[in-house]
Structure 1
Amino acid sequence: MRAILLKSLPIALTLLFATPTLAQVKIGVAGPVTGANAAFGAQLTQGVQQAVEDINKAGGILGQKLEVEVGDDVSDPKQGVSVANKFVGDGVKFVVGHFNSGVTIPASDVYAENDILFITPSATNPKVTDGGKWDAFRTCGRDDQQGMLWAELARDKLKGKKIAVVHDKTTYGKGLADAALDNMHKFGIKEVLYEGVNTGEKDYSAIVSKIKESGADYLMWGGLHTEGGLIVRQMRDQGMATIMISGDGITDTEFAAIGGPGVEGTLMSFGPEPRHNPSAKDAVEAFKAKGFEPQGYTLYSYAAVQIIKQAAEKANSLDPKKVAAVMHSGIPFHTVIGDISYDKKGDRTTVDYVWYVWKKGEDGKIGFEQL
């Protein structure tokens, strides 16, 4: 018996003096890692992973290291709820995501009921925060703000032009198109066509023919880059010069890969180019060193993790409700996309949407450039 005890003593001492694991805080990132919108899933996951890597190198949050758990919702609401429930079971306390508004809204019920704070970098539908949940925040703006920008463009720059409005029937796409349309109507501007299309199709010749018949000079597209790119390509195939106006749902160079050369001239609304923000310099270099271009929502996702860190340190706690209370207090958080402060609903107190144009760069590739 004594021999057994002596043999077990070194093991006991090893366990006693072993360095405790530091990966104590789980942060989930949720989005379409696979499927048609995987390009945006990559933006979210890369943004979060780089932020966590940088924060861990600097000592973590309140002395605790972060661990990332990725959830693939495939842009599907039911899958989004499954991802949210898995996060609950795995002990995740903070989530960056989801990408789609139509996925974020049902998943948010799971988070609110299970004390998980979430920040979406991209879900712009007003219902995400208008529901009054304690835990809902975003680093992006809202569709009603973006829709007003579209309507102001129609009023101030497109006088006498015929405008068609088409959406993809999703919470995001229809919400954005309707926000633009409602404000256009307030300005006395009438559209020549208003239609919805189904996502996931390859042949949009029917709607393209309707746009052609309407004589539209401009097409306001409420939807994502996949369908938007196909519609532009098929408009050009029919010899149409109609210019697309779209929003933050096409902020990936895959839009040009799908739409082809005809996407040149497309107008796009988005926040001020985050890659040009001086605060983002080191992060942008880190992404590019890994061969990843931090376009679109990449830095918006990085910023979400920065906000969680700063709010937790201000609260001196990693309790999501205490962190949320600090975020709702209105204090500014310093991020790679600029200073962000929140109102009581979880929306940013200041958002500046600006215009971009898709054009060929000096390298011969088509991308988007802020006007």
Structure 2
Amino acid sequence: MRAILLAGLALGMMACGQGQAADIKIGVAAPITGPNAAFGAQLKNGTTQAVEDINKAGGIKGQKLVLSSGDDASDPKQGVSVANKFASEGVKMVVGDFNSGVSIPASDVYQDAGIIQITPASTNVKFTERGMWNTFRTCGRDDQQGAVAGDYLAAKYKGKKIAFVHDKTPYGKGLADETLKALKAKGGKDVLYEGINPGEKDLSALVSKLKQANIDIVYYGGVFAEAGLLIRQMRDQGLKAPLMGGDGIADKEFAQIGGPGADGSLMTFAPDARKNPAAKDVVAAFKAKNIDPEAYTLYAYAAVQILKKAIEETGSTDGKKLADYLRQGKPTPTVIGDIAYDKKGDITRPDYVLYAWKKNAAGNVDYTGNELTK
């Protein structure tokens, strides 16, 4: 009997040891399928690479990260289902989601489950304005991004006819409204304000309206799929006005969908993280896998780095303790630069700049390297 008990105790200790070596569960929630799958791949690639690199270096205090992924398909209900799945799996922290309209309802589930959430891409102001303890982001906000776009429009298109189009989502409409607010604060105005539905393919009636109004520039709040279709159909109808958008068009597919007419489009986004000296080795690791860590890939990687630092500093994986630490405002070195948080969970260094999509030497329309100085 004593031998059996000792054997059982030894097995129990081994199981415990194994559990401790792999018991920090982290989730990545992103649109792996659906219209924003290109962005979903960025979030998943960034998170996966960060987990691999941390585990290869010995984990966090000897514990390995175990990654679970969930496909929200850019659908709020599916995002809530993913959140509930993570909660039932014992996930401690989540990187995601991409869409603001998904991140916001999912965050309620995460808060109830004691899970800290860092989104690499959801810029809607509401995400961090509700007084919740668990919401953070590695990106900026729509009011910051809108201020850059609105100021540019006011300066460069003074007295011109500016149209605003959005996709009716919390992100798209929110960004369009913040940009319009900034434009009006500088004395500018819109002559047309229209909404389209996500997934809408035929925008000919809208384009006809834009053409009839003799629009000089179109500001679009939304993501690359509809933005690409809009610019293509504008050119098809002979409307030469440029299109301006936000970070939602920061993917190569915008130019692929938009075609040659995407040349000259404007976009607000953060400085290219791939050029950050701190990202050199990580970018090389992605390139070795034939992955271009564009747009939000490194923002997702940075989110994992931030969580790692918080665990190391607190000695805990408790979501509330991690959140309390991050809200102290202490900077964490990441691949996108030092990140520190204010009390709301927003980064303290908003850094949106303006890009122009232009044809490069290879004949492709891209924004890489086309940052505008003013």
TM-score range, shorter chain: over 0.9
- Mapped to 1, the partners of 2:96 and 2:8 lie a distance apart of 43
- Mapped to 2, the partners of 1:97 and 1:13 lie a distance apart of 40
Which residue number corresponds to residue 212 of structure 1?
Answer: 211
| Match runs of 1:42-57 below 5 Å | 42-57=41-56
Tell me how far 1:60 sits from its aligned partner. Answer: 1.0
Tell me how far 1:350 sits from its aligned partner. Answer: 1.2
Q: Are positions 1:20 and 2:18 aligned together?
A: yes
Could you give the per-residue CA deviations for residues 285-316 of structure 1, whole angstroms, max 9, x where no partner exists? Answer: 11111111100100000000000001111112
Helix, strand or coil at the partner of 2:295: coil
Q: What amino acid is aligned across from residue 189 of structure 1 in structure 2?
A: G
- Mapped to 1, the partners of 2:163 and 2:211 lie a distance apart of 10
Tell me how far 1:75 sits from its aligned partner. Answer: 0.3
Which residue number corresponds to residue 137 of structure 2?
Answer: 138
Which residue number corresponds to residue 259 of structure 2?
Answer: 260
Which residue number corresponds to residue 295 of structure 1?
Answer: 294
Distance verdict in 2 for CA 1:104–1:17, change over 3 Å: closer
Tell me how far 1:123 sits from its aligned partner. Answer: 0.4
- Mapped to 1, the partners of 2:54 and 2:32 lie a distance apart of 23
Helix, strand or coil at the partner of 2:146: helix
- Mapped to 1, the partners of 2:268 and 2:287 lie a distance apart of 24
Which residue number corresponds to residue 231 of structure 1?
Answer: 230
- Mapped to 1, the partners of 2:121 and 2:10 lie a distance apart of 50
Q: What amino acid is aligned across from residue 219 of structure 2 in structure 1?
A: M
Helix, strand or coil at the partner of 1:338: coil
Q: What amino acid is aligned across from residue 110 of structure 1 in structure 2?
A: V
Helix, strand or coil at the partner of 1:177: helix
- Mapped to 1, the partners of 2:173 and 2:180 lie a distance apart of 10
Distance verdict in 2 for CA 1:58–1:206, change over 3 Å: same
Could you give the per-residue CA deviations for residues 133-153 of structure 1, whole angstroms, max 9, x where no partner exists? Answer: 001000000001111111100
Could you give the per-residue CA deviations for residues 104-123 of structure 1, whole angstroms, max 9, x where no partner exists? Answer: 11111001111000000000
Which residue number corresponds to residue 147 of structure 1?
Answer: 146
Q: What amino acid is aligned across from residue 158 of structure 1 in structure 2?
A: Y
Distance verdict in 2 for CA 1:317–1:11, change over 3 Å: closer
Tell me how far 1:366 sits from its aligned partner. Answer: 1.8
Tell me how far 1:161 sits from its aligned partner. Answer: 2.2
- Mapped to 2, the partners of 1:104 and 1:207 lie a distance apart of 30
Distance verdict in 2 for CA 1:10–1:182, change over 3 Å: closer
Q: What amino acid is aligned across from residue 72 of structure 1 in structure 2?
A: D
Distance verdict in 2 for CA 1:27–1:16, change over 3 Å: closer
Q: What amino acid is aligned across from residue 178 of structure 1 in structure 2?
A: D
Tell me how far 1:11 sits from its aligned partner. Answer: 9.6
- What is the alpha-carbon root mean square deviation over aligned residues? 1.9
Tell me how far 1:281 sits from its aligned partner. Answer: 0.5
Helix, strand or coil at the partner of 2:321: helix
- Mapped to 1, the partners of 2:7 and 2:128 lie a distance apart of 55
| Match runs of 1:66-215 below 5 Å | 66-215=65-214
Distance verdict in 2 for CA 1:211–1:326, change over 3 Å: same
Which residue number corresponds to residue 60 of structure 1?
Answer: 59
Show structure 1 runs of 5+ residues with no match.
none
- Mapped to 1, the partners of 2:360 and 2:241 lie a distance apart of 22
Tell me how far 1:156 sits from its aligned partner. Answer: 1.7
Q: What amino acid is aligned across from residue 106 of structure 1 in structure 2?
A: P
- Mapped to 1, the partners of 2:142 and 2:209 lie a distance apart of 26
- Mapped to 1, the partners of 2:188 and 2:156 lie a distance apart of 12
Could you give the per-residue CA deviations for residues 160-182 of structure 1, whole angstroms, max 9, x where no partner exists? Answer: 32211000000000000001111
Identical amino acids, percent of aligned pairs: 59
Tell me how far 1:216 sits from its aligned partner. Answer: 1.0
- Mapped to 2, the partners of 1:108 and 1:10 lie a distance apart of 45
Regions of 4+ moved over 3 Å: 8-19
Which residue number corresponds to residue 361 of structure 2?
Answer: 362
Could you give the per-residue CA deviations for residues 230-255 of structure 1, whole angstroms, max 9, x where no partner exists? Answer: 00000010111110010000111011
Q: What amino acid is aligned across from residue 20 of structure 1 in structure 2?
A: Q
Helix, strand or coil at the partner of 1:322: helix
Corresponding residue pairs, total: 368
- Mapped to 1, the partners of 2:108 and 2:208 lie a distance apart of 41
- Mapped to 2, the partners of 1:237 and 1:348 lie a distance apart of 41
- Mapped to 2, the partners of 1:32 and 1:352 lie a distance apart of 25
